[in-house]
Amino acid sequence: MSRPLLEMHGIVKEFPGVRALDNVDLDVRPGEVHCLLGQNGAGKSTLIKVLAGAHTPDEGRIVWQGEDVSFAHPIDALGHGLATIYQELDLVDGLSVADNIFLGHEHSRGGFVSRGETNKAAAALLARLGHPEIKPGRELGSLTPAGKQITSMARALSYNAQLIVMDEPSAVLDGDEVGNLFRVIKEITSEGVAVVYISHRLEEIREIGDRVTVLKDGRTVAQGLAVADVTTREVVSLMTGRDIEFVFPDRPTTAVETGAPLLRVEGLSRKGEFADVSFDVHPGEILGLTGLVGAGRSEILETVYGARTPDEGTVTLDGQRMRPGSVTAAVKAGMGLCPEERKAQALVLGDTVIRNVSLATLGRYANAGLIGAEAEREDVEKLTRDLDVRPADGRRVVRTLSGGNQQKAVLARWLLRECKVLLLDEPTRGVDVGARSELYQLVRDLADSGVAVVMVSSEVPEVLGLADRVLVVRDGRVVHESPATELTEADVLDLVMEGHAA
């Protein structure tokens, strides 16, 4: 057994009113993939921010390559060979790939004299990561999320990183891109670089992880267990403190596809995005839309919602033709969209959880004075309890919640609103395993109460498990439609990949 590369002992970090880390221990060995797991709000991000020098711990020791260290600033940590890749990558879209890789090095362009040298060094790093097709001179903003992630990793390697921390790297990737990411991780770990890997997708841990550390409520409940020695069920019960069955809610026993559809989309097209998209959704039905990132799924949802104007085609809700490109009309008619970019598009970060959740429903409470305020609080708190939003205090400012809990707050908003048609874009991204099952049940309950649900998700098992019917979108076109029970995961992957094979 090799000497630990990193040891964190008894780390404590408090924020006003919250002990985010309460005596946390972590040890990482060279060349291993160490998975850091825990429910939303368990303290994962806080721990890696302490490690990266972005937060100063209140107590505890960090031992790096056998020596006590303290990092006053992220650049300090990076200088020691400890790099962190956050979900919201700290890259600059307007700069070239090479400039991004060497951003922040002591001299601009990594100390290289000419652009040619900078580009050559960048190309060597990209090739080392198995991605020579990413050209150093290309503008970063034109890359896919996967390409940006590779650039971030090249940047870490340019600092000679011995440990790379990755915060939910797969959340923005498709299945095939996740495969690529894993290849890159295996490549760098075989060279002795260690990776700390955070994910809510537990099946990934089996595939890529060597050991796991589990946090619960700011405490280490399991430290450095070998992945081969624990079952997923055991990991889940360590994370949540309970046994969770991985079953999706039952589908209705009687067919819902009879009668008039609640939502009818006909021949919807937007140049360069998608073409000739048609589908019906009946009351009580969950329609799943799946396909690769960039296939046009989110664009279709946003156009149905009126946030984008179609070039052709119509959207009809409950027999009423929607005005193209009008969100106001859509909302008034009873449509709700829970967007993919929740933080940017949906949250008022400086406001409380209660206000953020009831934002779309204010009319219901506004005219009832004090009674209204009380009802508002009760309704919101019931939902946030169902979704296990933590801390369970509706008066907290949303900015101070963990990423996953912020997502739950936006979801709760649309669940509260009682829409006729609910459009959900990647509803479980960043949401922990415990809350996922609650969320699936809530969505099914909504459907059972007569709502028509359209859900976009990159996670194929989720679409197959929750939806009644599935549309597969490829390059902006619907290439397949069938009941979810008639498809396997392999069928869907074949359909989305056709024509995309490497």
Ligand X SMILES: Nc1ncnc2c1ncn2[C@@H]1O[C@H](COP(=O)(O)OP(=O)(O)OP(=O)(O)O)[C@@H](O)[C@H]1O
Contacts to ligand X by CB under 6 A: 15, 18, 20, 38, 40-46, 390-391, 400-405, 432
Q: Which residues, including other chains, have CB under 8 Å from residue 1's CB and lie 6 or more apart?
A: 29
Nearer CB in complex with ligand X: 209/404: 404
CA distance 260 to 16: 53
CB of 430 to ligand X, least distance (A): 6
The phi and psi torsions of 84 (rounded to 5 degrees) equal -125, 130
Nearer CB in complex with ligand X: 44/480: 44
Pull the structure tokens for residue 147: 């390409």
CB of 421 to ligand X, least distance (A): 28
- CA-nearest of 261, 254, 286, 280 to 465 is 286
Nearer CB in complex with ligand X: 20/416: 20
CB of 410 to ligand X, least distance (A): 13
**How many residues are present in the chain?**
502
Q: Which residues, including other chains, have CB under 8 Å from residue 76's CB and lie 6 or more apart?
A: 53
Query: Which single residue brings its beta carbon nearest to ligand X?
Result: 404
**CA dihedral defined by 343, 347, 349, 353, rounded to 10 degrees?**
-120
CB of 452 to ligand X, least distance (A): 29
Nearer CB in complex with ligand X: 100/384: 384
CB of 17 to ligand X, least distance (A): 7
Nearer CB in complex with ligand X: 384/405: 405
Which one-letter DSSP state was computed for residue 323? P
Nearer CB in complex with ligand X: 285/459: 459
Residue position matching structure tokens 């590779």: 150
Give the count of beta carbons closer than 10 Å to the beta carbon of residue 498. Answer: 13
Nearer CB in complex with ligand X: 299/426: 426
CA distance 473 to 273: 11
Nearer CB in complex with ligand X: 17/116: 17
Give the count of beta carbons closer than 10 Å to the beta carbon of residue 1. Answer: 4
CB of 40 to ligand X, least distance (A): 3
Pull the structure tokens for residue 12: 């404590």
Residue 10 in contact with residue 63, Cβ under 8 Å? no
Please give the distance of CA 293 from its chain centroid, rounded to a whole number. 13
Residue 194 in contact with residue 31, Cβ under 8 Å? yes
CB of 351 to ligand X, least distance (A): 15
Nearer CB in complex with ligand X: 36/256: 36
Pull the structure tokens for residue 158: 């340019």
CA distance 47 to 30: 19
CB of 50 to ligand X, least distance (A): 10
CB of 44 to ligand X, least distance (A): 4
Nearer CB in complex with ligand X: 310/434: 434
Residue 165 in contact with residue 52, Cβ under 8 Å? yes
Residue position matching structure tokens 């498809």: 487
CB of 375 to ligand X, least distance (A): 26
Helix (H) or strand (E) holding 470: strand 469-474
